Amino acid sequence: MRQFPPDFLWGVATSAFQIEGATQTDGRGESIWDRFAATPGKIADGTDGSVACDHYNRWKDDVETMRWLGVKSYRFSIAWPRILPLGRGKVNQAGMDFYSRLVDGLLTAGIEPMVTLYHWDLPQALDDKGGWTARDTVGAFVEYADEVSQVLGDRVSKWITHNEPWCISVLGYGNGEHAPGHKNWSEALAAAHHVLLSHGQAVSVIRANVKKAEVGITLNLCPAQPASPSAEDQDACRAFDGGFNRWYLDPIYGKGYPQDVIADHVAAGRIASEKLDFVRPGDLEAMAAPTDFLGVNYYSRGIIRSDRIPESQNAPRTVHAEPEKTDMDWEVYAGALTDLLLRLKKDYNPKRIYITENGAAYSTGPDADGRVRDTKRVHYLRTHLEASLDAIKQGVPLAGYFAWSLMDNFEWAWGYQKRFGLVFVDYATQKRIPKDSAHLYRAVVARNGLDVELAA
């Protein structure tokens, strides 16, 4: 019997910019992703988020799809520029009303809302003043969190401050693949610090506005394994894990920034000295505000090979990637999810964990009979759910799983080329078609377990 605990929270996840469209409707302000997507060459297929899945207008149908799926919860994000078009100041009532209606619609359908406050769409007006590299943005975020939680807090108890600080800082400010597209490592570190600080400061503000608040943050984590037992590979693996995982986990759980990674940054010339000049007295304590859960986004593992020595001088590889890769070129390897969850319990002991994202990009579309046979996603889903169950059986306080994503959507710098949805979206007609993976997920949720079969 491969059953999940009785109160396991089954959900699906999306984010505002990836699905809503209507970027110029009802007083919404410009976001860094509108500006970035409008810059030639930034989005692989030259598209933008102006229509996306037209969820702003079709949200009722999308809630119906979720009701059909049987999920108990829906994780979505609020577009900051809909609430505060200039980042701070006067609230745009029409924007707030949209989310208020969505929350009511979900509750009527028996689906619990889980709100992410920041999933990357920073108001452009704040970027004009330095974005996340500016300490002022911390205060702006806390004001925004206050406004939203005051209004929705009577109906929403689960709050995620930020989605994936690594992506916000490294992709946004370090390598420039995401908005706002800067390429400066010291900016990336300052941005990460301000994101984590704003998280810590927002926690108490949300708690003050929400009676039974459950507050957390979502990190994208990538478990790493050295490609061989060589000292070089082991050190490269330490550094990768440090920069990707520990840099965010350690401060949130009160351990401060990892010293070994600070030394790596200095050695690489990313910062001038080990004194992080963006850290002020009290910051580390604020960032470590106790939370109710950790949100984990897991997609794949890293097999780490040192680039410090030539391949011929390194030890032969002993860890090899599985042949199956998703359309993102990410290895399909579910075992690392169990390992990751066990490690989180051992090293950080979060009260609760939700897998707030997990999924796979495959471009499978409808066959002639209209059915979307996304067998590879079905396999991905099954194996990762097995891996989640393994972790629960070994004592990890995993309380829920949110499939990424409810439907195909705007995959950032890739545009609409990568499809992560359980539901297929025909962008020309906005028709939604549940894929085989949606049928599987529906069966799993209904049974609260994995002993389910799909019709051939």
Closest approach of Cβ 328 to ligand IFM, in Å?
Answer: 7
Closest approach of Cβ 414 to ligand IFM, in Å?
Answer: 8
Closest approach of Cβ 357 to ligand IFM, in Å?
Answer: 5
Burial annotation 248-284 (CB, 10 A radius, 16+ → b, else e) = bbbbbbeeebbeebbebbeeeebbeeeebebbeeebb
Residue 205 vs 336, nearer CB to ligand IFM: 336
- Give yes or no: 164 in active site: yes
The residue among 407, 401, 404 whose CA lies nearest residue 435 is 407
Residue 220 vs 306, nearer CB to ligand IFM: 220
How many C-beta neighbours within 10 Å does residue 119 have? Answer: 24
Residue 153 vs 172, nearer CB to ligand IFM: 172
What residue ranges bind ligand IFM (CB under 6 A)? 15, 18, 164, 220, 297, 357, 404, 411, 420
Closest approach of Cβ 381 to ligand IFM, in Å?
Answer: 15
Given 30, 112, 187, 357, the catalytic residue = 357
Residue 77 vs 388, nearer CB to ligand IFM: 77
The angle, 0 to 180 degrees and rounded to 10, between the axes of the packed helices 375-393 and 335-348 is: 30
Closest approach of Cβ 427 to ligand IFM, in Å?
Answer: 16
Given 20, 112, 147, 164, the catalytic residue = 164
Residue 233 vs 374, nearer CB to ligand IFM: 374
Residue positions annotated with a catalytic role: 164, 357
